[in-house]
Amino acid sequence: MASQYPPSLRILLPALILVFEIAFILIFYFFVSYDHPRDLAIYPAFQDVNVMVFFGFGFLLAFLRRYGFSSTGFGLLLAALGAQWAVIVDGFLFHFSDGKVKITLQSLLTAIMSIPTVLISAGAILGKANPVQLILMALIEVTVFATNRWIAVGILQVANHLSLMYVHLFGAYFGLTIAWWLHHPSLNQKVEKETSKPVSHLFAMLGTLFLWMFWPSFNSILIDNSRVKSFAIYNTYFAIASSTIAAFAVSVATSKNGKLSMAQIQNATLAGGVAIGFSASSIQHPWTAMTLGLLAGTISVLASVFFQTCLNPFLGIHDTCGVHSTFGLPSLLGGVAHIILIIAEQWRSSHQSDWGYMALLALGALSLSIVLSFVAGLVTGFLLISKLWKSPPATKYFDDQAYWEFPHLAVGY
């Protein structure tokens, strides 16, 4: 009979993260230096993004009844380690000159804005992977996503701020592919530990609301032109507000007894912010943003019903947090809408010079992200199932007690 206890990470986890941290310090010593600042005007919105990345995503994942410590704690660990690695990778690809990576508030910001990929992927495998696996995933994912951005910006002429809007898409499909590798037969039955309790849903609501409120900052912060920036703020606001309406409406309508599902509300209210990402800076009319948000919220709820009951069991994918319906599909919808809007916009304006070319480039960037996330996810997932990483036994899935000390086991829990 197998042990009831998960393997101890007492050596492996500290060794791994300390080696990485010391390697980071050495790389910083030789290659990274501070640049004279261009401007600190974005600092307040930079803090909004920080709140989203370090607080919002972690608490969004805190909905499981026995996994709040891991959701919020590992979220912080992944973000703190991932952000340092992203500064390095991003730096070498985008900010390298005279043998040095130059750090500015903008470069620190883009590094932090890459971290949602990691936290979204972590949402797909939440409760099924240990922190060692999560960290390895984070470092690989940050690297591949930076490469993705580098190809998109350098070859496919995607604007720098737009290249970061692929985080949701990339994170979702990368994570889902890993979830496919990590699948375990016992996951077909939903166990008690995989459910929520009211208080954990309220913590998740906290995370949801801070993501919701600061999403306009995320979609607009990297835009310099103040007119375009203000449009990105307005569009995100209207899209996320109307996806909230759709979330409530469709959640009630698809429930047998006409009741709302808190999990669907938490996920689908954010779908509008995800979907508008690609076109927040180019949409000129609020009604377009509202329509896109309404669609995104509707699709998100419908997908969460369909995926969780039909598609995922069929494909053998267990998506703990529903990242496919929260981030994957809405982002895909947003990518397609972006291409349609490029075509529509060029059609309307007189100079029809290059609309086909621009739409093709946008399609190429979208396809690139999808393909790269799948391929990288396949390789990463294969690496993560190695016995080296001491993954937890299925009986310890979704359980904080596998990784955290409790003074009195299970008291008050």
Binding residues for a copy of itself, rule CB under 8 A, total: 112
Taking contact as CB under 8 A, which single stretch among the options 114-122, 330-338, 364-372, 398-406 is the one that binds a copy of itself?
A: 398-406
Return the residues of window 76-115 that contact a copy of itself according to CB under 8 A: 76-77, 80-81, 83-84, 103-105, 108
Q: Tell me the three state secondary structure of residue 254.
A: coil
- Minimum gap (Å) between residue 115 Cβ and a copy of itself: 11
Pairing of strands 100-103, 32-34: parallel
344: contact with a copy of itself by CB under 8 A: no
305: contact with a copy of itself by CB under 8 A: no
Nearer to a copy of itself, 151 or 247 (CB): 247
Alpha carbon distance 256, 389 (integer Å): 43
Given candidates 197, 310, 340, 367, which one binds a copy of itself under the rule CB under 8 A? 197
Contacts of 391 (CB under 8 A, 6+ apart): 129, 130, 133, 182, 384, 385
Could you give the string, one character per residue 39-58, with x where binding to a copy of itself holds by CB under 8 A and - elsewhere? -x--xxx-xx-xx--xx--x
Given candidates 202, 336, 344, 379, which one binds a copy of itself under the rule CB under 8 A? 202
Nearer to a copy of itself, 28 or 150 (CB): 28
Q: How far apart are the first and last CA of the chain?
A: 28
Structure tokens at 45: 């919105």
Enter the DSSP assignment of 325.
I
Structure tokens at 363: 């399609």
Given candidates 143, 147, 291, 308, which one binds a copy of itself under the rule CB under 8 A? 291
Instruction: Look at residues 298, 135, 161, 297 and name the one whose alpha carbon lies nearest to residue 224.
Output: 161
Query: Residue 296: CA atoms inside 13 Å, Cβ hemisphere, count?
Result: 38
Enter the DSSP assignment of 344.
H
Cβ–Cβ contacts within 10 Å for residue 73, how many?
15
Q: In whole angstroms, what separates CA 30 from the centre of its chain?
A: 31
In terms of C-beta density within 10 A (0-12 exposed, 13-18 middle, 19 or more buried), how is residue 407 classed?
exposed
User: Cα separations (Å) of 304 from 47, 201, 265, 299, 313?
Assistant: 31, 17, 11, 8, 13
Nearer to a copy of itself, 180 or 238 (CB): 238
10: contact with a copy of itself by CB under 8 A: yes
Could you give the string, one character per residue 238-277, with x where binding to a copy of itself holds by CB under 8 A and - elsewhere? x-xxx-xxx-xxx-xx-x-xxxxxx--x---x--------
212: contact with a copy of itself by CB under 8 A: yes
Cβ–Cβ contacts within 10 Å for residue 69, how many?
15
DSSP assignment of 313-368? HHHT---TT-HIIIIIHHHHHHHHHHHHHHHHHHHHSS--SSHHHHHHHHHHHHHH
37: contact with a copy of itself by CB under 8 A: yes
Given candidates 98, 351, 408, 409, which one binds a copy of itself under the rule CB under 8 A? 408
Nearer to a copy of itself, 275 or 370 (CB): 275
233: contact with a copy of itself by CB under 8 A: yes
Given candidates 306, 357, 382, 413, which one binds a copy of itself under the rule CB under 8 A? 413
- Minimum gap (Å) between residue 9 Cβ and a copy of itself: 5
- Minimum gap (Å) between residue 298 Cβ and a copy of itself: 9
223: contact with a copy of itself by CB under 8 A: no
Structure tokens at 160: 């720098």
196: contact with a copy of itself by CB under 8 A: yes
Mark 133-151 as b/e (b = at least 16 C-beta within 10 Å): bbbbbbbbbbbbbbebbbb
309: contact with a copy of itself by CB under 8 A: no
Alpha carbon distance 79, 252 (integer Å): 35
Given candidates 180, 231, 307, 397, which one binds a copy of itself under the rule CB under 8 A? 231
- Minimum gap (Å) between residue 192 Cβ and a copy of itself: 8
- Minimum gap (Å) between residue 57 Cβ and a copy of itself: 11
Given candidates 3, 4, 8, 97, which one binds a copy of itself under the rule CB under 8 A? 8
